[in-house]
Chains A and B, each alone.
Chain A
Amino acid sequence: AQSVAQPEDQVNVAEGNPLTVKCTYSVSGNPYLFWYVQYPNRGLQFLLKYITGDNLVKGSYGFEAEFNESQTSFHLKKPSALVSDSALYFCAVRDTNRDDKIIFGKGTRLHILP
């Protein structure tokens, strides 16, 4: 069965520093991978996705993610963190060899310290 792991419950980064939020996945076929962000009392907002092609994917708000097939990872990155990036981040995967459902990780809370 497909699964997603976000190994860190919380990540703290100083404003202006680069940030990384980790995600690993397990699927039987090829993955479609997604990152979402959730602000308090809101639904999830789509940030970026990997379908095929370039391993480095660029998304909204200056975020990017790197797909690494050998390590089955899809880490979210940003070169310079902003306090407004503080939120809950979810990685998600869909297995192209299986059904249509998108499975989410448990989320990583990102704190950007001023």
Chain B
Amino acid sequence: KAGVTQTPRYLIKTRGQQVTLSCSPISGHRSVSWYQQTPGQGLQFLFEYFSETQRNKGNFPGRFSGRQFSNSRSEMNVSTLELGDSALYLCASRGQGYGTEAFFGQGTRLTVV
């Protein structure tokens, strides 16, 4: 069974630009969550999608948005990039059931210059 796949692995963008990150979950998983990882803040929850609907949202500005497609693949978009958006962005998918663990992709390393 293939794991969670995130593309691209690395990105360098300029301040003010926008970026789109992609995540393909494990086959059969309908829940996809996004996290931002920075050295000082650890993992911060961005949002979660389930069956194409945003189910939860973290405390991030509206510049951060996402969506999920009918095949459960998800995209995350960040507009008007700021230097502070430089981070590792992790995607995780889960199967159904409250006790199921999340499986993570390797992440997309975004550098804003």
Contact = CB atoms under 8 A, between A and B. Distances in A.
Contacts of A32: 98-99
Given A42-B106, A99-B55, A100-B31, A107 B98 contact: no
A42 B104 CA distance: 9
A111 interface: no
B101 A49 contact: yes
Contacts of A105: 42
A94 interface: yes
Contact of A43 (B33, B50, B105): B105
A106 B35 contact: no
Given A34-B101, A44-B104, A94-B98, A100 B4 contact: no
A106 B99 CA distance: 22
Given A100-B50, A105-B42, A106-B41, A46 B31 contact: no
B43 A104 contact: yes
Contacts of A106: 41-43
